[in-house]
């Protein structure tokens, strides 16, 4: 068993290698109000409670769509999706739709987050070990994953979104979530081997670094373009790493933002 890196850590800043952000700070909400991170919206307790009823309704729909994993359902019930989108879009936060999060990127639909998380867990009886997420975006899926895994490493290539995710996550106590800034195509070797790897952006192939960093017995779930040169329709791909090699399964069509190279 390899040693985990010690946090906070200072890492190599060169060559687009993922670098670790400060640990996500503890909750800031106090007293009668909880603050909604950088958006600057104050959500009174009453509304926060209303949102839990809306989330229960969202989870009920996920169950009707076939999501069965209790761990996934309870994580989706717990994480407040409205805190991860702009306040003007808050009213749509619990609809099954992707929403813009800035810099041309989108937060995935709740049904897609739940589907991928369920695939990732493979019905495990308890929490997963270490999980790598490529494409932090606004941090929503990372927050969901933080309830399903012992440790989550989440990489984002856009500095603006990496910073936004940290702000969005400020209200949660998530010491097991590590936000990294860098090109996720090279994974994050220091946290490897991973029990599971999940990508929220799709390229024309699965980077070899990801399968290299996957533990034997681990599972990778990612969108992959089925057309030439990373364009065209995408499909959800599952790769299981076994003692004798990789087993690949192509599932339904999906629609994710492109996996890009470098940082910006
Ligand atoms: N899971 C996110 C979804 C964000 S969309 C959420 O809950 O909001 C996918 C994200 O992948 C985008 O923010 C995009 O910038 C990022 N991305 C694309 N290519 C990447 C790469 N090579 N490394 C890291 N992040 C990448």
Question: What pLDDT is recorded for position 181?
Answer: 98
Question: What pLDDT is recorded for position 231?
Answer: 66
> How far is ligand 1, taken at its centre, from the CA of residue 143, in Å?
14
Residue-wise pLDDT for 235-247, tens only, equals: 999 999 999 999 9
Q: Is the pLDDT of residue 225 over 50?
A: yes
**Cβ of residue 202 lying under 6 Å from some atom of ligand 1:** no
**DSSP assignment string, 151-207:** EEEEEES-HHHHHHHHHHGGGS--TTEEEEES-GGG--GGGPSEEEEEESEEBSS--
Q: Is 52 a catalytic residue?
A: no
Question: What pLDDT is recorded for position 17?
Answer: 62
**Cβ of residue 107 lying under 6 Å from some atom of ligand 1:** yes
Smallest CA separation from ligand 1 atom 17, residue: 135
Report d(CA 250, CA 91) in Å as an integer. 34
Every domain of the chain and the residues it spans: 98-258
Q: Is the pLDDT of residue 256 over 80?
A: yes
**Cβ of residue 236 lying under 6 Å from some atom of ligand 1:** no
Residue-wise pLDDT for 148-194, tens only, equals: 999 999 999 999 999 999 999 999 989 999 999 999 999 999 999 99
**Cβ of residue 157 lying under 6 Å from some atom of ligand 1:** yes
Q: Is the pLDDT of residue 206 over 50?
A: yes
Q: Is the pLDDT of residue 122 over 50?
A: yes
Report d(CA 179, CA 22) in Å as an integer. 8
**CATH code at 98-258:** 3.40.50.150
Answer yes or no: are the C-beta atoms of 58 and 51 closer than 8 Å. no
> How far is ligand 1, taken at its centre, from the CA of residue 3, in Å?
27
Atom of ligand 1 nearest to the CA of 161: 13
Question: What pLDDT is recorded for position 39?
Answer: 27
Catalytic residue among 15, 52, 74, 108: 108
**Cβ of residue 140 lying under 6 Å from some atom of ligand 1:** yes
Cα-only R_g, the chain? 18
Question: What pLDDT is recorded for position 173?
Answer: 84
Atom of ligand 1 nearest to the CA of 106: 5
Residue-wise pLDDT for 22-81, tens only, equals: 444 433 332 222 222 222 233 334 455 578 999 999 999 999 999 999 999 999 999 999
Report d(CA 162, CA 164) in Å as an integer. 6
């Amino acid at each position: 068993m390899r040693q985990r890196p010690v946090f906070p850590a200072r890492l190599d800043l060169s060559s687009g290698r993922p670098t670790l952000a400060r640990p996500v700070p503890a909750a800031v909400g106090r007293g009668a109000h909880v603050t909604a991170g950088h958006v600057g919206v104050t959500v009174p307790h009453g509304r926060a409670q209303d949102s839990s009823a809306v989330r229960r309704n969202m989870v009920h729909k996920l169950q009707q769509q076939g999501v069965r994993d209790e761990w996934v359902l309870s994580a989706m019930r717990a994480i407040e999706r409205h805190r991860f989108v702009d306040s003007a879009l808050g009213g749509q936060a619990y609809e099954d739709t992707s929403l813009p999060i800035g810099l041309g990127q989108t937060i995935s639909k709740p049904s897609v987050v739940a589907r991928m998380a369920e695939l990732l867990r493979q019905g495990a009886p308890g929490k997963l070990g270490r999980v790598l997420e490529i494409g932090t975006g606004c941090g929503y899926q990372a927050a969901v994953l933080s309830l399903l895994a012992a440790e989550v490493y989440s990489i984002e290539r856009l500095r603006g979104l990496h910073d936004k995710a940290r702000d969005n996550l400020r209200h949660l106590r998530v010491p097991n979530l590590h936000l990294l800034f860098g090109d996720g195509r090279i994974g994050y070797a220091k946290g490897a081997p991973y029990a599971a790897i999940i990508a929220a952006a799709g390229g024309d192939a699965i980077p070899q670094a990801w399968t290299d960093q996957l533990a034997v017995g681990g599972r990778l779930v990612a969108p992959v373009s089925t057309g030439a040169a990373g364009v065209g329709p995408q499909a959800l791909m599952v790769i299981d790493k076994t003692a004798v090699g990789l087993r690949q399964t192509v599932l339904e069509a999906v629609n994710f933002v492109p996996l890009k190279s470098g940082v910006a």
